[in-house]
Amino acid sequence: MKTILIVEDDKDIQDIFRIIFTSFGYNVEAVETGTEVINRKSNFPDAIILDKQLPGINGVDVCRILKSQDETKAIPVIMISATSGVEQAAKTAGADDFLEKPFNMHVILKKVSALLNSNEQLITS
């Protein structure tokens, strides 16, 4: 079973992701801060859904750090945000894809599935 790590400080959004992904057979973990992700030294997830706006270190910086480390650079990251401009921020940080809130359940499932089944980045340069 593939594990999706949700990095989101809003518990309601964490719950929505948990419901969506578990109902489609994924294991879901959730954390509220980027620090919890970058301090992880083992049990890495198969994919990460990363909010751009987080307390402390923001999602853009978290993504940059993850994509610069050998242990985590291959983990697909989908950056999400309620603010416009997430596409450019995601590209700059090295995210594999992006999604603006509010999101469509089928779109996020399709994006995660595509990233888990392919090494191709979905963001075009």
Question: Rounded to the nearest 10 degrees, how much is the dihedral formed by the CA atoms of 64, 42, 16, 21?
Answer: 110
Scan for tokens 């706006």, then name that residue: 53
Instruction: Report pTM.
Output: 0.91
Residue 125 has pLDDT above 90, yes or no: no
Mean pLDDT of the chain: 91
Q: In what order do the strands lie in the sheet with 3-7?
A: 27-31, 3-7, 47-51, 77-81, 97-100
Rounded CA gap, 64 and 50, in Å? 12
Which domains are assigned to the chain? 3-116 (3.40.50.2300)
Smallest CA-to-CA distance from 111 within 47, 53, 52 is with 47
What pLDDT, in 10s, does the model give residues 16-69? 999 999 999 999 999 999 999 999 999 999 999 999 999 999 999 999 999 999
Rounded CA gap, 42 and 58, in Å? 22
Rounded CA gap, 3 and 48, in Å? 9
Query: In the prediction, which pLDDT does 63 show?
Result: 98
Query: In the prediction, which pLDDT does 120 show?
Result: 44
